[in-house]
């Protein structure tokens, strides 16, 4: 989902909110998404509606056009619980599906749980914790952990239930068992829809990962490490080399990350620059199919309005938010292609937006090195 500190995450037209400590919405703290979740939901509800009405009333004078929910392609399930390839240096290469609908982009992968599946999961670094659709969790009889937790969404409330996943795998690569948030989320669990999120809690335990957008693969440098036993905060880029199996030569550009980890979640943020403004903090959110900018920053930078609105799905509702023009912008010192961004109230999160897969997929590859707190980008892709 876009805006994905998940619980699930929210997205451009389809953000998924994350499961987590939800008091608010997908942009809440347990997963920052959980943080996002809760926060995104509670503080954002009235604001999103008000913002949409404001833009509609004060727009450009042209007809308002609403982009509906995007239907992204999902991985084929013909390969079942398999597909991973072991490389000579010990890395693992997984087939993924990178799907673009207009300028919005989503990446998903086949996941098997307790021998069942495959199920399509979105690869979501913006979800600090992984999540699964409640109906799937119930069908698999995953053991419940504690009582359901109530959270507030945009104009609604919902329940999340932690459930234990004992054995599971991504494209045939085994993952360590763990608690996972199970929720009922609009746009999940139906025919042709994802049923879960592989969040930063899991991805960060591999140390780093590489998206190859043309080849539609995800490369992990080795086996999954144990979850950290204590909180940590690392600011990069560190002088630590990127795992050799993830890179064959110097990347075209590098930006620093700030990576926060705890035993049950991980969050990566980076500095984003807009014309005439100082650097602002965005979350690195591969689960956001379209990048998101906070309403307050939209006003501060006077980002150009458009005639477009996009549907955004949260954990328990669907809202419509305005799209604005980014103008020239960059991550670190790396220029990004001008884009239409979702503009919404991010609530209490200490970030100004979400850097989504739409921005990262403008490059041939993107390496997210959690341990080195580094974002490395390859050459620009040609349309």
Tell me the mean pLDDT in the region 157-177: 92
Q: Mean pLDDT, the chain, as a whole number? A: 83
Q: Which of 54-58, 323-327, 371-375 has the lowest mean pLDDT?
A: 54-58
Using one digit for the tens of pLDDT, what is the confidence trace for 282-320? Answer: 999 999 999 999 999 999 999 999 999 988 776 666 778
For 227, counting Cβ atoms within 10 Å of its Cβ (0-12 exposed, 13-18 middle, 19+ buried), the class is middle
Domain boundaries, the chain: 9-377
Q: What is the pLDDT of residue 369?
A: 98
Question: Which percentage of the chain shows pLDDT scores above 70?
Answer: 79
Tell me the mean pLDDT in the region 238-255: 90
For 251, counting Cβ atoms within 10 Å of its Cβ (0-12 exposed, 13-18 middle, 19+ buried), the class is buried
Q: What is the pLDDT of residue 40?
A: 35
Q: What is the pLDDT of residue 333?
A: 87
Report the Cα 157 to chain-centroid distance in Å.
22
Residue 19 has pLDDT above 90, yes or no: no
Q: What is the pLDDT of residue 310?
A: 87
Q: What is the pLDDT of residue 314?
A: 64
| Strands (E) located in 41-91 | 65-67, 85-86
If phi over 0 gives left and psi between -120 and 50 gives alpha, with beta otherwise, what is residue 141?
Answer: left
The partner residues of 269 in beta bridges, in order of sequence, read: 258, 283
CATH superfamily of 9-377: Acid Proteases (2.40.70.10)
Residue 147 has pLDDT above 60, yes or no: yes
Model pTM?
0.85
Residue 75 has pLDDT above 90, yes or no: yes
Furthest-apart CA pair in the chain: how many Å? 59
Q: How far apart are CA 121 and CA 176, in angstroms?
A: 16
Residue corresponding to tokens 């799905």: 313
If phi over 0 gives left and psi between -120 and 50 gives alpha, with beta otherwise, what is residue 3?
Answer: left
Instruction: Give the tokens for residue 302.
Output: 């006077």
Answer with the residue of higher pLDDT: 333 or 121.
Answer: 121
Pairing of strands 292-294, 329-331: unpaired
Pairing of strands 116-124, 196-199: parallel
Run of H or E including 169: strand 168-170
Q: How far apart are CA 290 and CA 83, in angstroms?
A: 28
Q: What is the pLDDT of residue 347?
A: 67
Pairing of strands 131-133, 178-183: parallel
Residue 22 has pLDDT above 90, yes or no: no
Which positions ≥6 away from 46 have C-beta within 8 Å? 155
Q: Which of 6-10, 88-92, 335-339 has the lowest mean pLDDT?
A: 6-10
Tell me the mean pLDDT in the region 155-168: 84
Residue 15 has pLDDT above 70, yes or no: no
Q: Which of 33-37, 165-169, 330-334 has the lowest mean pLDDT?
A: 33-37
């Amino acid at each position: 989902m876009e805006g994905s500190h998940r619980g699930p995450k929210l997205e451009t037209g389809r953000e998924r909110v994350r499961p987590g400590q939800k008091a608010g919405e997908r942009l809440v703290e347990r997963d920052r998404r959980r943080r996002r979740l809760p926060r995104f939901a509670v503080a954002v509800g009235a604001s999103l509606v008000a913002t949409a009405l404001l833009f509609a009333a004060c727009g450009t004078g042209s007809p308002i056009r609403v982009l509906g929910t995007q239907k992204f392609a999902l991985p084929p399930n013909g390969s079942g619980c398999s597909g991973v390839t072991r490389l000579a240096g010990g890395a693992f290469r997984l087939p993924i599906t990178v799907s673009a609908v207009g300028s919005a982009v989503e990446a998903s992968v086949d996941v098997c749980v307790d021998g069942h599946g495959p199920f399509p999961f979105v690869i979501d670094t913006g979800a600090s914790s992984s999540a699964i659709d409640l109906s799937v969790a119930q069908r698999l009889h995953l053991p419940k952990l504690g009582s359901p937790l109530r959270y507030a969404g945009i104009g609604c409330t919902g329940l999340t239930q932690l459930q234990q996943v004992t054995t599971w795998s991504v494209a045939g690569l085994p993952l360590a068992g763990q608690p996972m948030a199970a929720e009922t989320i609009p746009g999940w669990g139906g025919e042709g829809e994802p049923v879960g999120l592989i969040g930063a809690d899991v991805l960060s335990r591999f140390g780093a990962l590489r998206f190859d957008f043309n080849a539609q693969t995800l490369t992990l440098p080795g086996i999954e490490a144990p979850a950290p036993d204590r909180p940590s905060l690392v600011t990069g880029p560190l002088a630590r080399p990127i795992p050799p199996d993830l890179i064959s030569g110097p990347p075209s550009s590098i930006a620093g990350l700030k990576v926060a980890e705890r035993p049950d979640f991980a969050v990566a943020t980076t500095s984003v620059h807009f014309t005439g403004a100082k650097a602002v903090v965005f979350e690195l959110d591969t689960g956001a199919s379209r990048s998101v900018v906070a309403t307050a920053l939209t006003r501060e930078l006077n980002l150009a309005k458009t005639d477009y609105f996009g549907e955004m799905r949260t954990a328990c509702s669907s809202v419509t938010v305005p799209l604005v023009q980014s103008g020239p912008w960059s991550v670190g010192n790396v220029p990004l292609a001008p884009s239409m961004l979702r503009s919404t109230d991010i609530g209490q999160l200490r970030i100004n937006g979400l850097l989504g897969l739409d921005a990262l997929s403008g490059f041939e590859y993107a390496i997210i090195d959690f341990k080195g707190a580094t974002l490395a980008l390859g050459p620009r892709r040609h349309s």
